Chain A
Amino acid sequence: MLIEYGPQIEQFLNAVIAGVMTGALFGLMCAGVGLIYGVMGVVNFAQGEFMMLGMYLAYFFTSTLLQSVLGPIVGPFTAAILTGPVIFALGWLTHLVLLRPVTGVRGANVEAAGHYAQLILTLGLSLILANGGLILFGSSPTSVRTPLTSQAFQFEPFGDADVMLFINQNKLVVTVFAMALAAALWLFVHSTKTGRAMRAAADNPDAATYVGINVDGAHRLSFGIGVAATAIAGGMLATSISFQPYSGTEFVIIMYAGVVLGGVGSILGAFWGGMVIGMVQQLSGLFLDLQLQSTAIFVVFLLVLLFRPQGLFGKSAERT
C-alpha cells in the first residue's frame, strides 16, 4: 500500500516538513507582533516594513563585512542576529517620537479617529518606510547568498518505498535559530523581572504605575523588542527568498493572521499561530495553485476573525 500511495505520501510529508520550517520562521515573526499587540494593544501596520529593513540590513552586513570575516555560512546568520539591536534602536526611537504622542492621548478630541489613531499612524509610517526603501535600495529583488540554500538533506524513511524526503539545510538552520529565539523571547517575558513588569503594565497600567513600573517605558521596550524579533526573522528569511522594498506589506496579514489565530495576549500562542499559518501555506500548495496560497491564509484569517476571535489559545475575546 505504501508503494501505491508513495508519491502522495512523499508530497504530503515534504509539505509538512516545509510547513514546519516555514511555520517556525513565521512563528518568530508573529511572536514579535504578539508582544507588541499583547503589551501595548497596538496594531502596527509598519511591522512588515521593519522586517524588510531587517532583510536589507542583513544583506548589507553580510556583503560588506561578515562574509569576508566569518565565511559564507556563519556570516549571513550573524548578520541576521545583528539586525536585532539596530532595529530595536529604530523601534525605540519610533515609539518615542511618533507613537507616544498618539497612544498617550485619551479621548481629547472626540471626533478624531480615536483608537484608530495609532493604526493610521503606523499605516503612514509603513508607506514612508516601504517607499523610502524603494528610493534607497531600488526595486530589483535581492537576497542573501549562502551555499546552504541549495543543499538539502535527503533521506528515505520508509526503506524502499520510494518516498524521498528533503530537508533544506538552510531552512533547517533557520528553523533551529527561529525556535531558539522565540524561546528566548518567551523566557524573557515570563522569567525576567523586566518581562514580568511588561506583562503587568499590559494587564493593568494604573496598578503598574502604583508599584513603580514606568508603563510608557514598558511600551517602548516592548515595541523595540517586537520589531527587532520580526527583523531578525526577516534577516533569516532573506537567505532563502528574494526580497524587495514592498516585501513587508505582503507579510502584514500573515503576521496578524498568526497572532489572531494563536490568541491575543500570548506570545506562545502567537508563535503557534504563526506555525499554523506556515503549515496552511505549505499544505494548501498540495491541492491549490501556488498563487492561491496567500488567499488560503486570508480565508483562514477571516474565518478565525469571524468565528473564533479569541483564537486557539487566547485569553480575551477582542481588544477595542
Chain B
Amino acid sequence: MLKIENLIAAYGPVHALNDVSIEVPDGGFVAVVGPNGAGKTTLFKTISGTVPAKSGRITYHGVDLLSVAPPDRPKLGLAHVPEGRQVFKTLTVAENLEMGTYAATDHAAARRQLDLVFTLFPRLGERRAQLAGTLSGGEQQMLAIGRGLASNPKLLMLDEPSMGLAPAIVDNIFETIQGIHKDYGLTVLLVEQRAAEALGSCSYGYVLETGRVVLEGAPSDLMKDDRIKRAYLGM
C-alpha cells in the first residue's frame, strides 16, 4: 500500500533521513522503532508533507505522494496521529473529532465512523463538550487516535503513542490499536521508541538509527538480535 524508496530528508544541512526504504503492505501492521533522534518523526512528517523530501519516492496505492499537496494527502485515506497527541486544545472533543472528518467525502460513512470512535473510546463520549486541552494525557491520546480514525482511513500512522504516558495507559492504548487492526482490517504504520510494545504487536519491523534502516525483519527475529540493544544503548 505504502512504499517508501530511498528517502532523504533534511533540516538545513543536517540529514534526518538518509536513504530510507520501507514498505507497508495492505492490511499489515508495520512498526518502525529506534532511539531518539533516529528520524522516526521526520519520516511521518515527510509522508504527510510538513517536511519536504530532498530526494526519493513515496508511493501510496501507486500514487506519487510527494507530488500531492500536503492538505490533500489525507483525502487519499492517510491518517496521521502526531507525536505528542497535538489535539486542538481550544476546540471541544466533539469539534476535534469533527475536524478529523474534514477530509471525508462520504458524509454518511463519516458519521458512522464517529459512532465507532465513541464505541472504542467511551470516555470520549462522556466528555463530548469538554475542551480538549483539559483532558488527561491518556484521554488526549485516545482523542488523537479517534481523530485519526474519524476520517475512515485506509492507513493509520501513529507517532510514538506511548510518549509521556504512564505504563498502564500505554498498555491500554496498544491493546486498542491491536484491536482496531484485527477487527477492522486497518493497515497500521507505527513509529515507537519503546521497541517491546511495538514489536509485540506488529507483523514486520524496521529499526531506524540516525536516519538509516539498520535492521528489519519479523518481530521474533528482531527481538533475538543484539543489534537492537546496541542501536539504543550503544553497547
Chain A residues within CB distance 8 Å of chain B: 193, 196-197, 199-200, 202-204, 206-215, 217, 265, 315
CA distance in complex: A104, B103 (Å): 23
- Tell me whether A208 and B99 are in contact (CB under 8 A): yes
- Tell me whether A193 and B102 are in contact (CB under 8 A): yes
Of the candidates B50, B69, B74, B89, which one forms a contact with A211 in the assembled complex, judged by CB atoms under 8 Å apart? B74
Residue on A nearest B150 in the bound complex, by CB: A211
Q: Give, as a whole number of angstroms, the nearest-CB distance from A269 to chain B.
A: 13
CA distance in complex: A203, B96 (Å): 11
**What are some 16 contacts across the A-B interface (CB < 8 A)?**
A193-B102, A196-B95, A196-B98, A196-B99, A197-B102, A199-B88, A200-B91, A200-B95, A202-B90, A204-B87, A207-B82, A209-B70, A210-B48, A211-B74, A212-B151, A213-B71
Classify the secondary structure of A's interface with B.
helix
CA distance in complex: A204, B83 (Å): 13
Of the candidates A197, A202, A209, A212, which one forms a contact with B50 in the assembled complex, judged by CB atoms under 8 Å apart? A209
- Tell me whether B71 and A199 are in contact (CB under 8 A): no
Asked whether B86 is an interface residue with its Cβ less than 8 Å from the other chain, the reply is yes
Interface centre among B80, B88, B103, B147 (most CB of A within 10 A): B88
Asked whether B39 is an interface residue with its Cβ less than 8 Å from the other chain, the reply is no
- Tell me whether A207 and B86 are in contact (CB under 8 A): yes
CA distance in complex: A199, B79 (Å): 20
Asked whether B72 is an interface residue with its Cβ less than 8 Å from the other chain, the reply is yes
- Tell me whether B86 and A212 are in contact (CB under 8 A): no
Chain B residues within CB distance 8 Å of chain A: 48-50, 69-75, 79-80, 82, 86-91, 95, 98-100, 102-103, 147, 151
- Tell me whether B74 and A210 are in contact (CB under 8 A): yes
Of the candidates B74, B87, B91, B98, which one forms a contact with A212 in the assembled complex, judged by CB atoms under 8 Å apart? B74
Q: Give, as a whole number of angstroms, the nearest-CB distance from A193 to chain B.
A: 7
CA distance in complex: A213, B102 (Å): 7
* Interfacial chain A residues near B87, Cβ < 8 Å: 204, 207
Q: Give, as a whole number of angstroms, the nearest-CB distance from A263 to chain B.
A: 12
Of the candidates A211, A217, A265, which one forms a contact with B147 in the assembled complex, judged by CB atoms under 8 Å apart? A211
Given contacts A196-B95, A206-B50, A206-B82, contact A212 B102 (CB under 8 A): yes
- Tell me whether B90 and A203 are in contact (CB under 8 A): yes
* Interfacial chain A residues near B99, Cβ < 8 Å: 196-197, 200, 208, 211, 213
CA distance in complex: A197, B80 (Å): 17
Q: Give, as a whole number of angstroms, the nearest-CB distance from A272 to chain B.
A: 18
* Interfacial chain A residues near B98, Cβ < 8 Å: 193, 196
Number of A-B residue pairs having CB atoms within 8 Å of each other in the complex: 68
CA distance in complex: A217, B151 (Å): 20
* Interfacial chain B residues near A197, Cβ < 8 Å: 99, 102
CA distance in complex: A182, B102 (Å): 26
* Interfacial chain B residues near A212, Cβ < 8 Å: 71-75, 102-103, 151
Q: Give, as a whole number of angstroms, the nearest-CB distance from A44 to chain B.
A: 21
* Interfacial chain A residues near B95, Cβ < 8 Å: 196, 200
Q: Give, as a whole number of angstroms, the nearest-CB distance from B61 to chain A.
A: 17
Q: Give, as a whole number of angstroms, the nearest-CB distance from A283 to chain B.
A: 33
- Tell me whether B48 and A204 are in contact (CB under 8 A): no
- Tell me whether B71 and A209 are in contact (CB under 8 A): yes
CA distance in complex: A203, B82 (Å): 14
The 3 closest A-B pairs by CB, nearest first: A212-B103, A212-B74, A210-B80
Given contacts A193-B98, A196-B98, A204-B86, contact A211 B103 (CB under 8 A): yes
Interface centre among A199, A200, A210, A214 (most CB of B within 10 A): A210
Q: Give, as a whole number of angstroms, the nearest-CB distance from B115 to chain A.
A: 19
Residue on B nearest A190 in the bound complex, by CB: B95
- Tell me whether A215 and B91 are in contact (CB under 8 A): no
* Interfacial chain A residues near B79, Cβ < 8 Å: 210
- Tell me whether A199 and B75 are in contact (CB under 8 A): no
* Interfacial chain A residues near B74, Cβ < 8 Å: 210-212
- Tell me whether A265 and B90 are in contact (CB under 8 A): yes
- Tell me whether B71 and A200 are in contact (CB under 8 A): no
Q: Give, as a whole number of angstroms, the nearest-CB distance from A241 to chain B.
A: 36
* Interfacial chain B residues near A265, Cβ < 8 Å: 90
Of the candidates B50, B71, B72, B90, which one forms a contact with A315 in the assembled complex, judged by CB atoms under 8 Å apart? B90
- Tell me whether A207 and B88 are in contact (CB under 8 A): yes
- Tell me whether B90 and A199 are in contact (CB under 8 A): yes
* Interfacial chain B residues near A315, Cβ < 8 Å: 90
* Interfacial chain B residues near A214, Cβ < 8 Å: 69, 71
Of the candidates B86, B103, B147, which one forms a contact with A206 in the assembled complex, judged by CB atoms under 8 Å apart? B86
- Tell me whether B48 and A196 are in contact (CB under 8 A): no
- Tell me whether B71 and A204 are in contact (CB under 8 A): no
Q: Give, as a whole number of angstroms, the nearest-CB distance from B153 to chain A.
A: 11
- Tell me whether B102 and A215 are in contact (CB under 8 A): no
Residue on A nearest B69 in the bound complex, by CB: A214
* Interfacial chain B residues near A217, Cβ < 8 Å: 71
Q: Give, as a whole number of angstroms, the nearest-CB distance from B205 to chain A.
A: 24
CA distance in complex: A212, B75 (Å): 7
Given contacts A212-B71, A212-B75, contact A196 B100 (CB under 8 A): no
Q: Give, as a whole number of angstroms, the nearest-CB distance from A232 to chain B.
A: 26
